[in-house]
Amino acid sequence: MMSPNRFVVTMTPNCSGRMTNCMQQLSTINSLQAMSGYCAATSRATFRNRPDVRGRVADHRHDSGSLLRSAQSTVKKALRNKDFRAPHLPGARQGAHYPRMLRDHTRKLVASTLRACAACALLACASASVHAATPEVHVRLMRANALAAPQIGLYGTAAVACSPEVARVTLDGADLSIALKSPQLACDNQRTAPFTLRVDPAASAGVPILPGQVYRVHVYAVGAGAESLLAFHLLDTNTPTSAPTPEDGLWWSQASTETGAAARGNGASIEFQDGQLAVGWLGFNDVGAATWYFGSARPTGRVASVALVQLANGDPPFAPTGNPPSAQPGPRLEVEFLSPTRARAYLVRNEAGRDVEVRALTLARSRFSSGPAANAWAGQWVLVPDDNGAPRVFEFTEPSSQDADTFHLADAGNDATLDCRLASGTQSPEVCTLSVATTTLADFDQIGIDHLVGHGSSGARVKLLRVPR
C-alpha cells in the first residue's frame, strides 16, 4: 500500500531573518523606495505563509532586539559619514556628494523606512512568538484498567513555564469540550517542554463517558475573554470488534440534517486492507482548482484520523515516468464509520501545530443504479455464520414491494425474504431482516452494497455476502 512517507514533503519556515533583511538593506542604502516596499511585501508574505511544521525553525530564535539595534547603528554611522554618497541619479555626475537638502531628506526617509521595516519585521516575529506560546495538543482515550471508566488524555508541547491547565469541561451528548488556560507571563517562547493532562468528565462535568459511544472532543484555549480552537479529535469507547468494515469504492459528500449541505464535487476514494485505511480525497483548493490529497491510517474502532498530504509537481500522464511528486501538508480527515457505506467525516485545517477550523460532512458510498433502491440488493447472496455453521445461498429477485420507508425482496425457491428499512431521507437501508418461512435467520444493522453484517437467531455474528457476477 502506498504511504505518504514515499513523497518528498516541502515546507517553508516563517519569520525567517526578516530583521536581518531589513538591516542589510539599510546598511547598503541602495534603492530606498524599493527597500521599503520589499519589507512590507515580505512581512505580508509572512502572515500568509504559516505552514504546519512540528519543529521550531532555528531562525525564529534570532534576537530581534539586537538586530534592530545593529541596523540602527549602521544607519547612524552612514548618515554621520561626511563621504556619505547617494546612488547614481539620472543626469548627475557619478559619485557626487549629496546637497544638504537632499541629505536631510534622505535622513528622514531612511529613519522612516527603518521604523516601518522594524515594525513589520517585529510584527511578523511577534506573530510567530504567539504561536510558540500556544500549546500543541493531542487527544487520546485513557483507561486505568479494563473495568475503569475511560478518561481523556491530553498531551503535547508548550512553551517552557507555560504548561496549560484544565479550566472547564462540558459534555453535551456526544460533544465533549475542554477549555485550557495557560499562564500569560514569564513564558520562554524559544523553548518547549512536554506536558500531559488527564481529564475525568465524571468528576469535572458530572457526566461520565459511556461505553459504546463515539465522542467529538474539542479542546479550546482560553485567553483575553475569548476561546480559540486548539485541537479536534474523535474517540470511540466501543470495542473494535463491533466496528463496521468500510467498503472499497467512491464515497461522496451528501446533505444530511446532522452535517448540513453537501460539499458538492467533494468525495473520497476509500480502500481498506489488512486493518489499514487508505483515503484519496477529491476536492478543490482555495482558488477553486481541482486537487486531491492522499493519506492512510489504522482505524481505532469506528473512527480513524487520517493526515492528508497534497500531491503536486508530478509527471503528466504521457511524460516519461521516474519523477516522484512532491507532497505538502494538507488537512486531516477525522472519520466515523456508521455503516459499511455511510460515515460522518470532519475535515480539519491545521496551522502551526494547532487545529483552527473543522468542516463536518456526511459521506456515503452510493449505488450506481437509478431505479428503486431495492434493485441494488437484488441478486445472489451467501449467508456465512461466524460459528462455523453451514453457509446458505439465496437468490433475491426484483422487489415484490417498496414504499418510501421499506422494501421487500423474495427468494421463491428457498421461501426466503429480505425486508429492509431505509434510513430517514435516504435510499440506503439502515436495518434488514432475513427470514425463511416464518423463522428469522438474522438481523443486520451494518448494511453495505456488497455485504451485510448482523447477528443470527443464536446471537452469533453472521454475514450476508454478495456473489459477484
Domain boundaries, position 304? 240-364
Do 45 and 125 reside in the same domain of the chain? yes
What's the whole-number mean pLDDT along residues 124-147? 68
Do 338 and 420 reside in the same domain of the chain? no
Per-residue pLDDT, 33: 40
Per-residue pLDDT, 443: 96
What's the whole-number mean pLDDT along residues 80-93? 47
Q: What is the mean pLDDT of the chain?
A: 77
Do 359 and 244 reside in the same domain of the chain? yes
Do 330 and 406 reside in the same domain of the chain? no
In a domain, 144, yes or no: yes
Least confident of 2-6, 201-205, 217-221, 384-388: 2-6
Out of 364, 382, 404, a domain closes at 364
More confident residue, 224 or 167: 167
In a domain, 394, yes or no: yes
Per-residue pLDDT, 428: 84
Do 159 and 171 reside in the same domain of the chain? yes
How far apart, in whole angstroms, are the C-alpha atoms of residue 13 and residue 127? 13
pLDDT tier at 58 (50, 70, 90 boundaries)? Answer: very low
Residue 35 confidence (pLDDT) above 50: no
In a domain, 3, yes or no: no
In a domain, 196, yes or no: yes
Bridging pattern class, strands 326-339 and 342-351: antiparallel
Per-residue pLDDT, 335: 98
Per-residue pLDDT, 111: 55
In a domain, 4, yes or no: no
pLDDT tier at 72 (50, 70, 90 boundaries)? Answer: low
Residue 177 confidence (pLDDT) above 80: yes
CB 239 within 8 A of CB 328: no
pLDDT tier at 150 (50, 70, 90 boundaries)? Answer: confident
Q: What is the pLDDT of residues 409-419, one digit of tens each?
A: 999 999 999 99
What's the whole-number mean pLDDT along residues 438-453? 93
Grid cell locating 96: 557626487
Question: For the residues of 130-192, what is the DSSP string, one character each?
Answer: HHHHSPEEEEEEE-SSTTSPPEEEEEEEEEET---EEEEEEEETTEEEEEEE---SS-EEEEE
Do 179 and 204 reside in the same domain of the chain? yes
Do 285 and 380 reside in the same domain of the chain? no
Do 345 and 244 reside in the same domain of the chain? yes
How far apart, in whole angstroms, are the C-alpha atoms of residue 27 and residue 35? 11
How far apart, in whole angstroms, are the C-alpha atoms of residue 201 and residue 216? 13
**Residue holding cell 486492507?**
273
Per-residue pLDDT, 143: 80
In a domain, 1, yes or no: no
In a domain, 407, yes or no: yes
Do 291 and 219 reside in the same domain of the chain? no
Do 276 and 315 reside in the same domain of the chain? yes
Do 335 and 427 reside in the same domain of the chain? no
What's the whole-number mean pLDDT along residues 97-112? 50
Per-residue pLDDT, 410: 93
Out of 343, 364, 385, a domain closes at 364
pLDDT tier at 53 (50, 70, 90 boundaries)? Answer: very low
What's the whole-number mean pLDDT along residues 166-173? 94
Out of 203, 236, 269, a domain closes at 236
**Residue 395's CATH number:** 2.40.128
Residue 456 confidence (pLDDT) above 50: yes
More confident residue, 288 or 107: 288
Q: What is the pLDDT of residues 227-267, one digit of tens each?
A: 899 999 999 998 777 789 999 999 999 998 889 999 999 99
Domain count, the chain: 4
Could you tell me which residues come within 8 angstroms of residue 142 by beta carbon, excluding any fewer than 6 positions away?
Answer: 150, 151, 152, 153, 198
Do 312 and 351 reside in the same domain of the chain? yes
What's the whole-number mean pLDDT along residues 92-97? 46
In a domain, 124, yes or no: yes
Per-residue pLDDT, 308: 97
Per-residue pLDDT, 295: 96
Judge if pTM exceeds 0.85: no
